[in-house]
Structure 1
Amino acid sequence: MVEPGATDLAREFNRRYPGTPVTPHATRKWLLGESIPAQARLRVLARWLGVSAEWLRFGEGAMSVTASDEPQPEVDFQLAREIAALSAPHREVVREMVRALRRAEGGKD
Protein backbone atom coordinates (compact mmCIF):
# COMPACT_ATOMS: atom_id res chain seq x y z
CA MET A 1 0.00 0.00 0.00
CA VAL A 2 1.25 3.50 -0.86
CA GLU A 3 1.33 6.08 1.95
CA PRO A 4 -0.82 9.21 1.61
CA GLY A 5 2.34 11.37 1.52
CA ALA A 6 3.53 9.60 -1.62
CA THR A 7 0.13 10.06 -3.27
CA ASP A 8 0.07 13.75 -2.41
CA LEU A 9 3.64 14.18 -3.63
CA ALA A 10 2.85 12.47 -6.94
CA ARG A 11 -0.25 14.61 -7.50
CA GLU A 12 1.51 17.89 -6.72
CA PHE A 13 4.65 16.94 -8.65
CA ASN A 14 2.61 16.01 -11.74
CA ARG A 15 0.97 19.45 -11.65
CA ARG A 16 4.43 20.99 -12.06
CA TYR A 17 6.14 18.51 -14.41
CA PRO A 18 5.54 18.71 -18.16
CA GLY A 19 6.78 15.18 -18.87
CA THR A 20 5.31 11.78 -18.20
CA PRO A 21 3.47 11.78 -14.87
CA VAL A 22 4.98 9.84 -11.97
CA THR A 23 3.10 7.29 -9.92
CA PRO A 24 2.63 7.32 -6.14
CA HIS A 25 4.78 4.18 -6.10
CA ALA A 26 7.66 6.08 -7.72
CA THR A 27 7.39 8.98 -5.28
CA ARG A 28 7.24 6.51 -2.38
CA LYS A 29 10.61 5.18 -3.53
CA TRP A 30 11.95 8.76 -3.60
CA LEU A 31 10.73 9.37 -0.06
CA LEU A 32 12.24 6.12 1.23
CA GLY A 33 15.56 6.76 -0.52
CA GLU A 34 15.16 3.65 -2.67
CA SER A 35 15.55 5.66 -5.87
CA ILE A 36 16.59 9.12 -6.98
CA PRO A 37 14.53 11.11 -9.48
CA ALA A 38 16.01 11.67 -12.93
CA GLN A 39 17.76 15.02 -13.33
CA ALA A 40 14.84 16.72 -15.14
CA ARG A 41 12.47 15.67 -12.36
CA LEU A 42 14.98 16.66 -9.71
CA ARG A 43 15.18 20.17 -11.17
CA VAL A 44 11.39 20.50 -10.98
CA LEU A 45 11.41 19.28 -7.36
CA ALA A 46 14.21 21.69 -6.46
CA ARG A 47 12.45 24.67 -8.07
CA TRP A 48 9.20 23.71 -6.32
CA LEU A 49 10.93 23.36 -2.93
CA GLY A 50 13.07 26.47 -3.36
CA VAL A 51 16.37 24.65 -3.01
CA SER A 52 19.26 24.02 -5.38
CA ALA A 53 19.18 20.81 -7.43
CA GLU A 54 22.76 20.05 -6.32
CA TRP A 55 21.79 20.28 -2.67
CA LEU A 56 18.70 18.15 -3.21
CA ARG A 57 20.62 15.40 -5.04
CA PHE A 58 23.88 15.34 -3.11
CA GLY A 59 23.27 17.29 0.09
CA GLU A 60 26.20 19.51 -0.90
CA GLY A 61 26.58 23.07 -2.10
CA ALA A 62 24.29 25.96 -1.36
CA MET A 63 20.88 24.89 -0.15
CA SER A 64 19.11 28.09 -1.10
CA VAL A 65 18.26 29.11 -4.62
CA THR A 66 20.34 31.80 -6.30
CA ALA A 67 18.75 34.78 -8.02
CA SER A 68 19.17 33.10 -11.44
CA ASP A 69 17.24 30.07 -10.18
CA GLU A 70 14.25 32.05 -8.92
CA PRO A 71 11.02 30.12 -9.37
CA GLN A 72 9.06 30.81 -12.51
CA PRO A 73 5.27 31.10 -12.51
CA GLU A 74 3.80 27.64 -12.05
CA VAL A 75 2.04 25.85 -14.87
CA ASP A 76 -0.41 23.11 -13.93
CA PHE A 77 0.70 20.43 -16.38
CA GLN A 78 -1.74 17.87 -15.01
CA LEU A 79 -4.60 20.24 -15.79
CA ALA A 80 -3.14 20.83 -19.26
CA ARG A 81 -3.01 17.05 -19.88
CA GLU A 82 -6.62 16.69 -18.77
CA ILE A 83 -7.76 19.50 -21.05
CA ALA A 84 -5.75 18.04 -23.95
CA ALA A 85 -7.58 14.73 -23.48
CA LEU A 86 -10.96 16.41 -24.13
CA SER A 87 -12.63 16.43 -27.51
CA ALA A 88 -11.95 19.47 -29.71
CA PRO A 89 -15.39 21.01 -29.03
CA HIS A 90 -14.95 20.61 -25.28
CA ARG A 91 -11.45 22.11 -25.42
CA GLU A 92 -12.99 25.12 -27.16
CA VAL A 93 -15.55 25.43 -24.34
CA VAL A 94 -12.69 25.44 -21.81
CA ARG A 95 -10.82 28.04 -23.90
CA GLU A 96 -13.89 30.31 -23.94
CA MET A 97 -14.37 29.88 -20.19
CA VAL A 98 -10.76 30.89 -19.56
CA ARG A 99 -11.16 33.96 -21.77
CA ALA A 100 -14.31 34.96 -19.88
CA LEU A 101 -12.59 34.51 -16.52
CA ARG A 102 -9.58 36.57 -17.65
CA ARG A 103 -11.88 39.36 -18.79
CA ALA A 104 -13.71 39.22 -15.44
CA GLU A 105 -10.34 39.58 -13.66
CA GLY A 106 -9.37 42.53 -15.86
CA GLY A 107 -6.91 40.56 -17.99
CA LYS A 108 -6.47 40.57 -21.73
CA ASP A 109 -7.56 37.84 -24.15
Structure 2
Amino acid sequence: MKDERQEFSRRLAQAMEKAGYKPRPGELHKAFNSSYAGTSVSEMTASRWLSGKAIPAQDKLQVLAALFGVEPHALRFGSRKVAVADDRAGWAEAITAQDRAMLDAFLSLPAKQRGLVRELVAALAAAGASKG
Protein backbone atom coordinates (compact mmCIF):
# COMPACT_ATOMS: atom_id res chain seq x y z
CA MET A 1 0.00 0.00 0.00
CA LYS A 2 2.88 2.36 0.75
CA ASP A 3 4.22 2.11 -2.82
CA GLU A 4 0.77 2.88 -4.21
CA ARG A 5 0.56 6.06 -2.13
CA GLN A 6 4.09 7.07 -3.11
CA GLU A 7 3.28 6.58 -6.79
CA PHE A 8 0.11 8.65 -6.42
CA SER A 9 2.04 11.48 -4.74
CA ARG A 10 4.60 11.43 -7.56
CA ARG A 11 1.85 11.66 -10.19
CA LEU A 12 0.12 14.46 -8.25
CA ALA A 13 3.35 16.47 -8.04
CA GLN A 14 3.99 15.97 -11.77
CA ALA A 15 0.44 17.04 -12.64
CA MET A 16 0.80 20.15 -10.50
CA GLU A 17 4.07 21.10 -12.18
CA LYS A 18 2.66 20.56 -15.68
CA ALA A 19 -0.29 22.79 -14.76
CA GLY A 20 2.05 25.55 -13.57
CA TYR A 21 1.84 24.96 -9.81
CA LYS A 22 4.66 24.24 -7.42
CA PRO A 23 4.06 20.89 -5.70
CA ARG A 24 3.91 22.35 -2.21
CA PRO A 25 1.24 21.65 0.42
CA GLY A 26 0.27 25.32 0.79
CA GLU A 27 -0.19 25.79 -2.94
CA LEU A 28 -2.13 22.52 -3.29
CA HIS A 29 -4.28 23.42 -0.28
CA LYS A 30 -5.27 26.82 -1.74
CA ALA A 31 -5.84 25.56 -5.28
CA PHE A 32 -7.90 22.57 -4.15
CA ASN A 33 -10.12 24.47 -1.73
CA SER A 34 -10.85 27.15 -4.33
CA SER A 35 -12.26 24.44 -6.63
CA TYR A 36 -13.92 22.05 -4.18
CA ALA A 37 -17.57 22.60 -3.28
CA GLY A 38 -17.39 20.38 -0.19
CA THR A 39 -15.78 20.90 3.19
CA SER A 40 -12.33 22.46 2.90
CA VAL A 41 -9.28 20.29 3.46
CA SER A 42 -6.43 21.32 5.72
CA GLU A 43 -2.90 22.06 4.59
CA MET A 44 -1.90 18.93 6.53
CA THR A 45 -4.19 16.86 4.31
CA ALA A 46 -2.60 18.37 1.20
CA SER A 47 0.80 17.58 2.70
CA ARG A 48 -0.23 13.96 3.25
CA TRP A 49 -1.29 13.67 -0.41
CA LEU A 50 2.03 15.10 -1.61
CA SER A 51 4.19 13.09 0.79
CA GLY A 52 2.70 9.71 -0.08
CA LYS A 53 0.99 9.20 3.25
CA ALA A 54 -2.59 9.30 1.93
CA ILE A 55 -4.66 9.08 -1.22
CA PRO A 56 -7.73 11.34 -1.45
CA ALA A 57 -11.28 10.03 -1.66
CA GLN A 58 -12.81 9.75 -5.14
CA ASP A 59 -14.70 13.07 -4.98
CA LYS A 60 -11.51 14.90 -4.09
CA LEU A 61 -9.52 12.97 -6.68
CA GLN A 62 -11.97 14.13 -9.36
CA VAL A 63 -11.43 17.76 -8.34
CA LEU A 64 -7.65 17.36 -8.32
CA ALA A 65 -7.69 15.79 -11.77
CA ALA A 66 -9.87 18.57 -13.22
CA LEU A 67 -7.78 21.23 -11.50
CA PHE A 68 -4.52 19.95 -12.97
CA GLY A 69 -5.86 18.81 -16.36
CA VAL A 70 -5.40 15.06 -16.06
CA GLU A 71 -7.76 12.10 -16.18
CA PRO A 72 -8.83 10.98 -12.69
CA HIS A 73 -7.95 7.37 -13.48
CA ALA A 74 -4.46 8.32 -14.69
CA LEU A 75 -3.86 10.46 -11.61
CA ARG A 76 -4.96 7.69 -9.27
CA PHE A 77 -3.52 4.62 -11.01
CA GLY A 78 -1.07 5.90 -13.64
CA SER A 79 -1.28 5.87 -17.40
CA ARG A 80 -0.60 2.15 -17.76
CA LYS A 81 -4.30 1.56 -17.08
CA VAL A 82 -6.83 2.09 -19.86
CA ALA A 83 -9.33 4.84 -19.09
CA VAL A 84 -12.93 4.65 -20.20
CA ALA A 85 -13.63 7.13 -23.00
CA ASP A 86 -16.07 9.97 -22.41
CA ASP A 87 -18.98 9.64 -24.83
CA ARG A 88 -19.37 13.42 -24.73
CA ALA A 89 -15.86 14.09 -26.06
CA GLY A 90 -17.13 16.46 -28.77
CA TRP A 91 -19.19 18.67 -26.45
CA ALA A 92 -16.57 21.45 -26.48
CA GLU A 93 -17.08 21.95 -30.22
CA ALA A 94 -20.71 22.96 -29.66
CA ILE A 95 -19.92 25.70 -27.15
CA THR A 96 -20.25 29.29 -28.35
CA ALA A 97 -17.98 32.18 -27.38
CA GLN A 98 -20.67 33.36 -24.95
CA ASP A 99 -20.78 29.91 -23.35
CA ARG A 100 -17.00 29.90 -22.96
CA ALA A 101 -17.08 33.35 -21.33
CA MET A 102 -19.80 32.15 -18.95
CA LEU A 103 -17.76 29.04 -18.06
CA ASP A 104 -14.66 31.17 -17.43
CA ALA A 105 -16.71 33.42 -15.13
CA PHE A 106 -18.15 30.36 -13.38
CA LEU A 107 -14.66 28.91 -12.81
CA SER A 108 -13.51 32.16 -11.24
CA LEU A 109 -16.25 32.05 -8.57
CA PRO A 110 -15.55 30.87 -5.01
CA ALA A 111 -16.52 27.26 -4.28
CA LYS A 112 -19.76 28.13 -2.44
CA GLN A 113 -21.01 30.33 -5.27
CA ARG A 114 -20.11 27.64 -7.81
CA GLY A 115 -22.22 25.20 -5.80
CA LEU A 116 -25.17 27.59 -5.92
CA VAL A 117 -24.83 27.97 -9.69
CA ARG A 118 -24.75 24.16 -10.08
CA GLU A 119 -27.95 23.87 -8.04
CA LEU A 120 -29.65 26.57 -10.13
CA VAL A 121 -28.66 24.91 -13.41
CA ALA A 122 -29.86 21.51 -12.15
CA ALA A 123 -33.21 23.01 -11.11
CA LEU A 124 -33.64 24.76 -14.46
CA ALA A 125 -32.74 21.58 -16.33
CA ALA A 126 -35.22 19.55 -14.28
CA ALA A 127 -37.95 22.15 -14.90
CA GLY A 128 -37.21 22.13 -18.63
CA ALA A 129 -37.24 18.32 -18.79
CA SER A 130 -40.63 18.14 -17.06
CA LYS A 131 -42.14 20.49 -19.66
CA GLY A 132 -40.57 18.65 -22.60
- State the TM-score, normalizing by the size of structure 1: 0.57
Structure 1 gaps of 5+ residues are: 81-109
On the 8 A contact 1:47/1:69 being kept in 2, the answer is no
- Counterparts of 1:68 and 1:23 in 2: how far apart (Å)? 36
Matched residue of 1:26: which SS? Answer: helix
Structure 2 gaps of 5+ residues are: 1-22, 93-102, 114-132
- Counterparts of 2:110 and 2:30 in 1: how far apart (Å)? 11
Runs of at least 4 residues off by over 4 Å: none
On the 8 A contact 1:17/1:77 being kept in 2, the answer is yes
Kindly report the root-mean-square deviation, in angstroms, between the aligned alpha carbons of the 2 structures.
3.1
Q: How many residues align?
A: 75
Mapping 1:14-93, distance limit 5 Å:
14-60=33-79, 61=81, 67=89, 73=104, 74=107, 75-77=109-111, 80=113
Q: Offset of 1:6 from its aligned partner?
A: 0.4
Identity in percent = 35
- Counterparts of 2:76 and 2:33 in 1: how far apart (Å)? 19
* More helix by percentage: 2
Structure number with greater CO (CA < 8 Å, separation at least 6) is 2
Compared with structure 1, are the counterparts of its residues 58 and 18 closer, same or farther at alpha carbon in structure 2 (3 Å cutoff)? Answer: same
Q: Offset of 1:76 from its aligned partner?
A: 2.2
Q: Offset of 1:62 from its aligned partner?
A: 5.8
Amino acid at match of 1:31: L
